[in-house]
Chains A and B, each alone.
Chain A
Amino acid sequence: NAGVTQTPKFRVLKTGQSMTLLCAQDMNHEYMYWYRQDPGMGLRLIHYSVGEGTTAKGEVPDGYNVSRLKKQNFLLGLESAAPSQTSVYFCASSPVGMGKNIQYFGAGTRLSVL
């Protein structure tokens, strides 16, 4: 019963490097989200998707891109990493209908940009 799986769990990048974070969910959820969590700031929405092939900007989208080519996967890309992107990144998913407001989270990816 995997739920939402994020890979990798940890990553260290140098400034200017690129990387992709993968989120996979096995619950057939329509909606998927990427958040970053920083001390004292709670969770801030980066990008989200309301279905396969669709993406939209959240609260803090700059410096990130996303893709949802398959319903179960939601990728977050950093094209040129900056120290300000050091954070813990969480992916979440939620179903349609009555449960659409309940989000299921992955365990997070801890990213350090040097």
Chain B
Amino acid sequence: AQSVTQLDSQVPVFEEAPVELRCNYSSSVSVYLFWYVQYPNQGLQLLLKYLSGSTLVKGINGFEAEFNKSQTSFHLRKPSVHISDTAEYFCAVSLASGTYKDIFGTGTRLKVLA
């Protein structure tokens, strides 16, 4: 069965600094990978996804993620964060075929400091 690990539960970072949120997954078959963002008191919304093709995926709000098959990772990055990026970020994985269920990581709370 597949699983997702987000190693950092909280990441504080100063405004305009770069940030990387880590995500590692485990699966014996091909997977799709996702990052979702949850702003305070809201539901999750899709930030970006990797289905196939280029391993560097660009999403909304200047975020990007790189799929690394050999390291089974899908880390999220942004070169310069804003106060408005303060939110919780979830990595998710689903099998590339035969399923419609995602497995979510435990989330990383990004706090951007002024």
**Measuring CB to CB, which residues of chain A are less than 8 angstroms from any residue of chain B?**
4, 31, 33, 35, 40-45, 48, 50, 58, 90, 92, 94, 100-108
CB contact list, B29-62 vs A, under 8 A? 32, 34, 36, 41-46, 49, 51
Contact A42 B106 (CB under 8 A): yes
Contact B94 A101 (CB under 8 A): yes
Q: How far is the CA of A66 from the CA of B41 in the complex (A)?
A: 24
**Measuring CB to CB, which residues of chain B are less than 8 angstroms from any residue of chain A?**
9, 32, 34, 36, 41-46, 49, 51, 90, 94, 100-102, 104-107
Contact B102 A103 (CB under 8 A): yes
Residues of the A chain whose Cβ atoms lie less than 8 Å from the Cβ of B32: 101
A-B pairs under 8 A by CB, number: 52
Query: Given A45-B101, A48-B101, A58-B101, A101–B34 Cβ distance below 8 Å?
Result: yes
Chain A at the B interface: SS class: strand
Contact B44 A40 (CB under 8 A): no
Chain B residue with Cβ nearest A44 = B104
24 example contacts (A-B, Cβ-Cβ < 8 A) are as follows A33-B101, A40-B9, A40-B106, A41-B106, A45-B101, A48-B100, A50-B100, A90-B43, A90-B44, A92-B43, A94-B100, A101-B32, A101-B34, A102-B34, A103-B46, A103-B102, A105-B36, A105-B44, A105-B45, A106-B43, A107-B41, A108-B41, A108-B42, A108-B43
Query: Given A40-B9, A42-B90, A43-B90, A105–B101 Cβ distance below 8 Å?
Result: no
